[in-house]
Amino acid sequence: MRLASESCRAIPSIRTRPRQGHCGHARRRRAAAAPIADYSWTAPPRSPNCHLSYGSRFKLEQGGESVFDCYAQELPAVDHTLGYGQTQTVGAITCASEPSAMTCADGSTGHYFRISREAYEVG
């Protein structure tokens, strides 16, 4: 599901996508990705391995760490807006919209990203 947040023009995408498993079986990978269009902070330096777009999108895959995403394609169009005080959960990942920021967290690991126009935090 693709959501827009009223809090900071962040657009988190909470989705599942197939991932190849052992012996040709497909498993589902759950992830949140949030591009942000309107911000005043500076992203950390890009990895030398990233030759694509960088610095305006966060990614959190279930069981993984929260990172700045290195990406080549834009995310699909928004399905609906996540209003202030609302949450959306897929698997262990929950995104919440508040007037101050958008937060997405993986309840299984404690990893998260929190973004607003003025600041970001990953953990």
pLDDT in tens, 66-100: 999 888 877 666 666 677 888 888 889 888 888 88
Percentage of the chain modeled with pLDDT above 90: 21
pLDDT-above-70 percentage for the chain: 71
Buried b or exposed e, range 46-64, using 16+ CB within 10 angstroms: eeeeeeeebbebbbbbbee
Contact (CB, 8 A) for 37 and 117: no
Cβ proximity of 99 and 82 under 8 Å: no
pLDDT in tens, 44-59: 999 999 998 888 888 8
Q: Does the pTM of the predicted model rise above 0.85?
A: no
Q: Using CA atoms, how far apart are residues 71 and 65, in angstroms rounded to an integer?
A: 16
